[in-house]
Amino acid sequence: MTRILAAGDHFVAPSLFIDAITARTADNGSLHFASLELPWPLEPFGPVGTVIEASDRVPELISALDRVEIVVTQMAPFTAEVFDAAPNLRFIGVCRGGPVNVDLAAATAAGVIVSFAPGRNAVAAAEFTVGLMLSAMRRVVTTDHDLKAGNWRGDYYTYDNAGIELDGATVGLIGYGAIGRIVSRVLRAFGSTVVTYDPYADPATIAADGVESIALDQLLRRSSVVSLHARLTPETHHMLNAENLKLLPHGAIHVNGARGGLLDYAPLPALLRSGALGALALDVYDQEPPQPGWPLFNAPNVVMTPHLAGATRQTAERAATIVADDVARFLRGERPLHVANPDVLDVLAPLTSGIRTGRAAE
């Protein structure tokens, strides 16, 4: 009997994991499923021990891991403490673009494979990004609030206050991964000229998409709209800051639907009030949720949403499916497709063989 824990939440529910794994395995009764429901997103994620963006439920997770060999999750906090308490664990499937809720060094030391789900929310995040752009450029959210408050803002139809169009605009995408590529495709359909800065992206892919790859400072100088799509690393922390935000054309629009730490928020209120920054659209923040009294709450021309870019039903279903496929490969003794700690595969063969032999004997 192989014990699998579906540590889901209110977005990717345990039942989604269980149904996806069952559909992809020839389960003849050899799989035993247990469920744990974590509180995200009704409670925000945060740092837990040595990991980030996790639900702070270590005791509950340790209790649920009794004799478990495989876990599928989105927000469970896999710290060194958890690995020490789960000696039977062999595989973790994290249904996110990166397994930031797993201490990879501790996982590797424990001989646990960590799989993840690249591209699971790419379509949802890309569509949402374009929606944020349009909302900021055309004051959709601002005028909605004004009209409901009884204010008919005819002054937004004056030339000085009118919005700008995507058709003919130069849009700079900082990061050209799965999400950036979809955003680029949509923008080019609108008639935008798209430029990108991503030192890790394939230049041939960028060129084939009809996009120009340029340096970051050039991108900021040329773009009337700038959108962030990079991963948050020590290298990219505050990659947009008071110094280089001054390079933007006067009145430019900025969108951040990637990660809060990519952007230094401190200079933004002053840039918005001066008009140097024409509008700002945010789905992510340096602290989530922002504290009451945060200066951007009272700044002009700001669109804010509570980290919703990936919130579609298709994202949840796709996430469960991607990790379920890798669970099925692991159960067959095959190499999973999306492994975050490939060094552990050097010792995988005897461990996997032992698990499979044990199930056959039972």
In the set 57, 96, 181, 259, the catalytic residue is 259
Residue 9 has pLDDT above 90, yes or no: yes
Q: What is the pLDDT of residues 199-230, one digit of tens each?
A: 999 999 999 999 999 999 999 999 999 999 99
3-class SS at 168? coil
Q: Is 317 a catalytic residue?
A: no
Residue 350 has pLDDT above 70, yes or no: no
In the set 67, 243, 250, 288, the catalytic residue is 288
pLDDT of 14: 98
Instruction: Tell me how crowded residue 335 is: count the other CB atoms within 10 A of its CB.
Output: 13
Residue 35 has pLDDT above 90, yes or no: yes
Q: Is 288 a catalytic residue?
A: yes
pLDDT of 29: 79
Where in the chain does DSSP place strands (E)? Answer: 2-8, 31-37, 46-48, 51-54, 70-73, 91-94, 113-115, 170-174, 193-197, 212-213, 225-228, 252-256, 277-282, 302-304
In the set 57, 222, 254, 307, the catalytic residue is 307
Mean pLDDT for the chain?
Answer: 93
3-class SS at 336? coil
Residue 54 has pLDDT above 50, yes or no: yes
Residue 294 has pLDDT above 50, yes or no: yes
pLDDT of 284: 96
pLDDT of 358: 30
Closest CA to 178 of 216, 126, 131, 237: 126
pLDDT of 256: 98
CB neighbour class for 149 (10 Å; exposed up to 12, middle 13-18, buried from 19):
exposed
Residue 56 has pLDDT above 90, yes or no: yes
Confidence of residue 357 (pLDDT cuts 50, 70, 90): very low
| Residue 357 tokens, joined | 């032999």
Q: Is 307 a catalytic residue?
A: yes
Where do the domains of the chain lie, and which CATH numbers do they carry? 2-120+312-361 (3.40.50.720), 122-304 (3.40.50.720)
Residue 241 has pLDDT above 50, yes or no: yes
Give the DSSP H/E element, type plus range, for residue 220. helix 216-222
